[in-house]
Structure 1
Amino acid sequence: MIKLIRHGVYLVNGRTIVDKDGQAAMDRIASCLQPAGCGGAMQNAVDKAQARSQTLAYQILAAHNTAADDHGLKLKFDCLASHDITYVGIIQTARASGLQEFPLPYVLTNCHNSLCAVGGTINEDDHVFGLTAARKYGGIYVPAHQAVIHQYMREMMTGCGKMILGSDSHTRYGALGTLAVGEGGGELAKQLLSKTYDLAYPDVVAVYLEGSPRHGVGPQDVALSIIGAVFADGFVKNKILEFVGPGIAALSADFRNGIDVMTTETTCLSSIWETDETIRQYYEIHGRPEAYRRLTPGAVAYYDGLVKVDLSLIEPMIALPFHPSNVWTIAELKRNPADILRQVEIGARAQLENSRVNFTLTDKLVNGQLHVDQGVVAGCAGGTFENIAAMARLLAGKETGSGEFSLSVYPASQPVNLELVSNGSIASLMQAGASIRTAFCGPCFGAGDVPSHNGLSIRHTTRNFPSREGSKPTEGQIASVALMDARSIAATALRGGILTAATEVDFPAAPAPYRFDSRSYRSRVYQGFGKPEQETKLVLGPNIADWPAIRPLPANLLLKIAAVLQDEVTTTDELIPSGETSSFRSNPLRLAEFTLGRKDPQYVGRAKAIQELERQRQAGLITPEVKKFFEPVAAESNAEDETGLVAHTGIGSVIFARKPGDGSAREQAASCQRVLGGDANIALEYATKRYRSNLINWGMIPFTVDAGLKEAFAVDDLLYIPAIREAIAGGAERVQAHIINSSGRKPVELQLHNLSQEDRAIILAGCLVNYYAG
């Protein structure tokens, strides 16, 4: 089904894989390019560096690189995109840094906080802010319920060879020929200030598709299969996935988009696909034929690895709680449900160790069959035209039943909804018992269709992390999500909630043609790019607050370890919960109250107590509490001048996590720690580039340590890092620190690898806002 090649490979004419080095490989390449008998001439003809430049990724990156050095990219994007959990903070950051006008198209969608009030604040205040910002600075504003962020970008903003940066981790438009990156808000603020997105040239891994999917297999099945194969060992982490091979031709544009958007869950940096007649037709249907051009790798392209996927062997899949990589075939789960579910329960309970819940799944087995409580198809992954039309064909003339199981469907945009209404699909679904909603990302992050306690929801959405269905484990309430394709969700609905693969039922295969009608956008979307109205006054509701003042990096740091997370991976949802907490997304101080709330509820109190000592220190008050905090350092470092030590040593908090940052691009995962006085993270490695970038942009030091030190840190230990400012400024990649606790003082080496000069300058300034203001 899926084969991984973990070393470099050549792809010849986009079809022939050559995964060996040496003369034999050159001869095989020659046989594909030249008449028989000319193989010997190829020995020196294939230069690896030249072949590397023949990938689609390289071609697009090179076209957007403003630096002379291809190994140190400085990229400028064609377009930006944000939704209403992130755009307020981004604009506030850019505004504090001197923003006058959006220098490139910036799309502000309203698809996450679409509900009027969640958690006690009025979300519409942010929407009013967004519209006034679009007017003032020249932006594009998409009102609530019109489209989820990525569907709008697919329909209206993509283009072959373009690059788009979005403040949402699922910013992926590779199937449409656009290399898109999901990042934290700080990176978008840089683009708004006409700065660049800087990174080393990434590795590129080919995803070679062959065959064609069986009837009943959908894009989520293919995506989950790939995620399951590559996630655990980080095979494609921070790399670009390039989709090639003859199997692409067997997939519609919607099918490709459905696979592509889920590549985020592999932890890759971005994705890009070959384009063909199918994509040309997509752009024609959407009234933008000029956005198409043929994209194909060069005659001989070199990749740093390859994922080979036989689409004909993909089966209907399910990703069980609590990660998209926790995949099984539905058939396998149905053959052995009790053992598999017990295994998942054990892993889930470990992940929920600090909650007050007893998580179970085996109680969902009735007479050996798995019963689920809810089905949801929504967002950029599930809510596409073809997914919902396929569900309608499967459920037409049938019923989902009046029992516990419920089915909700969220078309991803008004144009998609309109066409599903026009062709009768919506009527078929409603008659079968499904509830039809507007375009909303809520079910993807825990703010829509919240099931009951101990409920199990099957969803064609993007993630199934803990609490992505809206439960509150710290309050004793837990539900869970399993990811499936829309077709198998419809098949399960047909059987009243008994887990069923779409390949087990008969339904028409012929897809309905799609007609795109943009009139709903023309009627409601504000198109202000290039037309700023600078006299417009920004409307700031009572829950929209400026970023608090953040100090520069002091000469030394004395940090208290405020949390230790020993999970193999810590998600951004666990660092700052999504769902109802997003109601406070525009108020840094109030949102920070939820930091680590689902992993370590005592963290906020610890961090605040440490932060209060730093406030006293900055005010020049050597209170008894401050003096006591410094006693271990003053005593063991033989400091002669206690006043000088305190004046030049910042007090802060730090967390240790083995591998933090998987999942969402929300910068709040880092900024909330910073608002509470956090100065650093310590990790064995960072799960994603975007989380590490968020730390840096908020002035937090992204330390790493060797694996042998994973048990070295404990809550309430002190970490003294002398001369840290000098080390950062001087380009040091290793610094000596000391762990201080009741057992004494122990030296520890902290690593600072792969920090650019600008990264170091931002950390020295204290945060991105200070860096640009200073």
Structure 2
Amino acid sequence: MPKNLVQKILDSHVASGTPKAGEPVELVIDQTLTQDATGTMAYIQLEAMGVDQVKTELSVSYVDHNTLQSGYMNADDHAYLQSVAAKHGVLFSRPGNGICHQVHLERFAKPGRTLIGSDSHTPTAGAMASIAMGAGGLDVAKAMAGLTYRITYPEVVNVRLEGELPHGVSSKDIILELLRRLSVKGGVGRIFEYTGPGVKNLSVYQRATITNMGAELGATTSIFPSDETTRAFLARQQREEDYMPMEADPDADYDEIVVINLSGLQPLAACPHSPDNVKPVSELAGMKVDQVSIGSCTNSGFEDLMKAANVLKGKTVAPNVSLTVSPGSRQVLTKLIENGALATFVQAGARILECTCGPCIGMGQSPKTD
């Protein structure tokens, strides 16, 4: 019987239960990630289980949230996270290496793997054809201890992309269009699988923006196939050996099909106070802007920041605007230094922040009154 991509990966990881929409199943988890705002408790729980070494294929502890360290408590947490990682066989990504989802995509995500992370935007790795899900810290600790992860087997929605993005339209507009149509509750109990001829024109970074922000749909996760674009990305990351082609079988069934004609999209923006309050940018033209924060795990990749740098080149940030830039990883920051784009940001008057989550979670850069 033909299977879609979600079924291929999930069914190969089902330890118990019936792989049918709405039924509870226990999944074997290959990879885990934590970040420092949620990780401390997860590792305390792992230690309480008496596990010597983690049982997963790979577990990574990222420090990318509480990095301002305005008091000793964050630094103490980081010291604990580093020591417990060394003790139990967890890789440790220290402050400054980058945002967990960006770094995991670059260094560790693999096609066909299952990943759970103690952060809601863990589905970013779906851009690498992983089944990647946000989970509670205790669930992540259990997975590191070799226990299964229980979910309700999801419905699978086929988002078929047709055509090509017009000039000035980004992959962010694809996920905003989905939010406009389906709302922040439209993905509950569902996985969104992207297919169609429009997929091949999207880079891995563009795919990652979509899978990342699929969390705002309330989706279990989102996923793209592993294709030649995936292989080329992994080759540039010097880990082409991790490549494996993966896609849905011809004539695979889905619970719903949503078609998006990329050629008909226009620039969109999510407005206060919900990600599904989506309006065309053309309707917002002329609105006064006080603060701009470029970065976050949704749009902090190399391509995202190069687009912003090209817009700013030879220009100066308006005197009434505060502009901050947060590169997603040390790798991205290094590339911006090497090609001169970082100088473009600095010369334009931008403030360069650490490679961390930063303003997205309210960690610094509070805006002024009103």
SS of 1:380 mapped into structure 2: coil
Find the residue that maps to 2:253 and give its secondary structure. strand
CA deviation after TM superposition for structure 1 residue 333, in Å: 3.3
Which structure ranks higher in relative contact order (CA pairs < 8 Å, sequence separation ≥ 6)?
2
Q: Tell me the equivalent position of 2:296.
A: 379
Which residue matches 2:139?
Answer: 187
Q: Is the 8 A contact 2:326 2:358 kept in 1?
A: no
Distance in 2 between residues matched to 1:397 and 1:155, nearest whole Å: 31
CA–CA distance in structure 2, aligned partners of residues 442 and 290 of structure 1: 33
CA distance in 1, matches of 2:18, 2:165: 42
Which residue number in structure 2 is paired with residue 693 of structure 1? Answer: none
Task: Give the C-alpha shift of residue 227 in structure 1.
Answer: 1.4
**Given that residues 55 and 144 in structure 2 are in contact (C-alpha distance below 8 angstroms), is that contact kept between their aligned partners in structure 1?**
yes
> Contact 2:211/2:221 (CA < 8 Å) preserved in 1?
no
Other-structure match for 2:65: 112
* Alignment correspondent of 1:205: 157
Residue 153 of structure 2 aligns to which amino acid in structure 1?
Answer: Y
CA distance in 2, matches of 1:370, 1:271: 33
State the shift of 1:223 in Å: 1.7
2:35 is aligned to 83
> 1:121: how far off?
5.0
2:247 maps to 296
- Contact 2:159/2:257 (CA < 8 Å) preserved in 1? yes
Structure 2 counterpart of 1:205, one-letter code: V
* SS class of match (1:280): helix
Tell me the CA shift for residue 69 of structure 1.
Answer: 3.2
Distance 1:414 1:433 in 2: 21
Match of 1:575 in 2: none
Deviating beyond 6 angstroms after TM superposition, the runs of 4 or more aligned structure 1 residues are none
Once residues 138 and 273 of structure 2 are traced to their aligned partners in structure 1, the CA distance between those partners, rounded to angstroms, is 29
Q: In 2, distance between residues paired with 1:197 and 1:164?
A: 10
Distance 1:396 1:439 in 2: 22
**Matched residue, 1:58:** 7
In the other structure, the counterpart of 2:193 is 242
Larger radius of gyration: 1
Q: 2:343 aligns with which of 395, 419, 427?
A: 427
Whether the aligned pair in 2 keeps the contact of 1:379 and 1:439 (CA below 8 Å) is no
1:697-747: CA deviations, max 9, x gaps?
xxxxxxxxxxxxxxxxxxxxxxxxxxxxxxxxxxxxxxxxxxxxxxxxxxx
Please say if residues 66 and 76 of structure 1, whose CA atoms lie closer than 8 Å, have aligned partners that are also in contact: yes
Q: Give the 3-state SS of the residue equivalent to 1:206 in structure 2.
A: strand
Q: Secondary structure at the match of 1:417?
A: helix
Give 1:281's aligned residue.
232
Q: Which of these residues, 300, 305, 309, is aligned with residue 256 of structure 2?
A: 305
Aligned counterparts, 1:368-447, within 5 A: 369-401=286-318, 403-447=319-363
Q: Which residue of 2 aligns with 1:267?
A: 218
Partner of 1:70: 19
State the distance in 2 between where 1:186 and 1:238 align. 21
* Structure 1 portions without partners, runs of 5+: 1-49, 335-368, 455-774
Write the letter of the residue equivalent to 2:343. A
- Deviation digits for residues 223-280 of structure 1, max 9, x if unmatched? 2121121125x33212111000000111122111111110000001011112221111
2:12 matches 1:95? no
Shift of 1:425: 1.0
Is 1:452–2:335 an aligned residue pair? Answer: no
Structure 1 CA distance for aligned equivalents of residues 129 and 270 of structure 2 = 28
* Cα deviation code 1:453-493 (max 9, x no counterpart): 11xxxxxxxxxxxxxxxxxxxxxxxxxxxxxxxxxxxxxxx
CA shift digits 1:101-130 (9 cap, x unpaired): 21122111110001112xx55311111001
1:269-302 deviation line (CA, Å, top 9, x unaligned)? 0111122211110000111111111111112110
Partner of 1:223: 175
Using structure 1 for the length normalisation, give the TM-score: 0.46
Identity among equivalent pairs (%): 33
- Taking the aligned partners of 1:235 and 1:115, their CA distance within structure 2 comes to 35
| SS across alignment from 2:247 | coil
> Could you say what secondary structure the match of 1:302 adopts?
coil
User: Normalised by the size of structure 2, how large is the TM-score?
Assistant: 0.95
SS of residue in 2 equivalent to 1:150 = helix
Q: Take 1:244 and 1:154, find their aligned partners in 2: how far apart are those partners?
A: 20
Which whole-Å CA distance do the structure 1 matches of 2:350 and 2:145 have between them?
Answer: 46
Q: Cα offset for 1:85?
A: 0.5
The answer (yes or no) to whether the contact 1:211–1:250 under 8 Å persists in 2 is no
User: Do the aligned partners of 1:56 and 1:297 also contact (CA within 8 Å) in 2?
Assistant: yes
Residue 149 of structure 1: which of 100, 104, 108 is its match?
100
Question: Residues 431-580 of structure 1 correspond to what in structure 2 (within 5 A)?
Answer: 431-454=347-370
Q: Tell me how far apart the structure 2 counterparts of residues 68 and 230 of structure 1 sit (CA, whole Å).
A: 30
Give how far 1:206 is off: 0.5
